[in-house]
Amino acid sequence: MSAPTEKLTKKQLKADHPTWCPGCGDFAVLASFFNVVQKLGIPHEKIVCVAGIGCSSRFPYFVNTHGIHFIHGRALPLATGISLSRPDLHVFVFGGDGDGYSIGGNHLNHAARKNVNLSYVVMDNQVYGLTKNQTSPTTPIGRRSKTDPRGAIDVPINPMSQLVASGATFIARTHAVQVKHMNEMFERAILHPGFAVVETLSECTMFYPGAFDDGIPRKGGKFDLVDESARDMTSTSEAMALAEETEHAPPGKFGVYLESHRPTKNELENQWLIDAQAKTADLAQKDLLRKRFAAMR
Ligand SMILES: Cc1ncc(C[n+]2csc(CCOP(=O)(O)OP(=O)(O)O)c2C)c(N)n1
Ligand code: SF4
Ligand SMILES: [Mg+2]
């Protein structure tokens, strides 16, 4: 991580007042982002926030950083380009379960397998909030919505097993009411070199109130943590077993499921550039590209 140029304050980081409904879980995610970015002293000018479309994806409006509110489901390919072309920046992607697991699901697989260096927070409320209550890919069977008035009939995806299968190198799960835990997960994701995802249960108080009460002890639920000391944190098979346990015994486990290391796409591309420049009398990167395109004609 690059050295801070000045100590960042919350006042500097805040932008428009969030337009989310009262009590929406996304407020806590925003507060956590402010805390962690301040704590880590990331230089203000080095932060980029990218999002797709959805209530959660309005995030870039509420932070005073470089940012783009992009196309539904397409935040990851755009963020990949930013990360690869400006490896000095800290690239954050924010979005919802619909944006990330439905319309953007295939991009998620590819950004993960490429191990692009960025941090991705999925604010999963198990519903399409912005468009006012449709079934999402994580909506449980039986839940009624505008698209399933008699209750959802499709088996929901398991975000954790999908992320493990896709090749993401850092995968964590947290709950927006567990602020300390969420801060810790975000901090570890930011410090992870590679593709880091934090699946964050964030309640839609307007359309799906109480969805995550079973993970809130003061409401009679349990907040059961992953025991990292008893696990091989680099093992995809152990992470997959944990993901299955979470699917079959809600609310499941919270914490880091997988923390593994392999070269990032950023590092591999950079090495390719260094090798190519060594063979071409240190041609500038843009001239290398021009040469390549000319050869393809
Ligand atoms: C290509 C395209 N298809 C559909 C939509 C309509 N749309 C906007 S947001 C959204 C779903 C949002 O759900 P989610 O990503 O879970 O975010 P939330 O609002 O719940 O935070 C949909 C279907 C759109 N904007 N663009
Ligand atoms: S509709 Fe739901 S997700 Fe959207 S701002 Fe309101 S509470 Fe939050
Ligand atoms: Mg949603």
**Correct CATH for 10-262 of 1.10.10.10, 3.40.50.970, 3.20.20.70, 3.90.1150.10:** 3.40.50.970
What is d(CA 266, CA 259) in angstroms, rounded to the nearest whole number? 18
* Rounded distance from Cα 31 to ligand 3 centre (Å): 19
DSSP 42-55: --GGGEEEEE-SSS
**Token pair recorded at residue 234:** 């680099």
What does the domain layout of the chain look like in residue ranges?
10-262, 263-297
| pLDDT tens digits, 227-284 | 999 999 999 999 999 999 999 999 999 999 999 999 999 999 999 989 999 998 888 9
CA atoms of 36 and 119, how far apart (whole Å): 13
Q: How far apart are CA 33 and CA 23, in angstroms?
A: 17
Sheet order of strands, 253-259 included: 66-69, 47-51, 90-96, 118-124, 195-201, 170-175, 253-259, 224-225
Distance from the CA of 102 to the center of ligand 2, in angstroms? 18
Q: How far is the CA of 17 from the centre of ligand 1 (A)?
A: 21
- Residues 237, 239, 243, 248: is their CA dihedral positive or negative? positive
The pLDDT tens digits for 132-170 are: 999 999 999 999 999 999 999 999 999 999 999 999 999
Residue 4 has pLDDT above 60, yes or no: no
Calculate how far, in angstroms, residue 43's C-alpha sits from the geometric centre of ligand 3. Answer: 30
Atom of ligand 2 nearest to the CA of 123: 3
Residue 96 CA to residue 149 CA, distance in Å, equals 22
What residues does ligand 2 touch, defined as CB less than 6 Å away? 20-21, 24, 26, 55, 125, 129-130, 204-207
Strand ranges, E, within the chain: 47-51, 66-69, 90-96, 118-124, 170-175, 195-201, 224-225, 253-259
Over range 7-17, report the average pLDDT: 92
Our mutation pick for probing the ligand 2 site, out of 126, 139, 205, counting the most ligand atoms within 8 A of Cβ, is: 205
d(CA 94, CA 189): 13
Residue with the smallest CA separation from ligand 2 atom 2 is 204
% pLDDT > 90, the chain = 92
The pLDDT assigned to 259 comes to 98
Q: How many residues does the chain have?
A: 297
Which CA distances in Å does 172 have to 36, 162, 163? Answer: 16, 13, 10
Strands 170-175, 253-259: pairing kind: antiparallel
Q: Which residues of 60-97 are buried (b: 16+ CB within 10 A; e: fewer)?
A: bbbbbbbbebbebbbbbbbbbebbbeeeebbbbbbbbb
pLDDT at 79 over 90: yes
Block residue for tokens 């005073």: 64
Cis ω before 251 (30° cut-off from 0): yes
Give the pTM: 0.96
Number of Cβ atoms within 10 Å of the Cβ of 203: 27
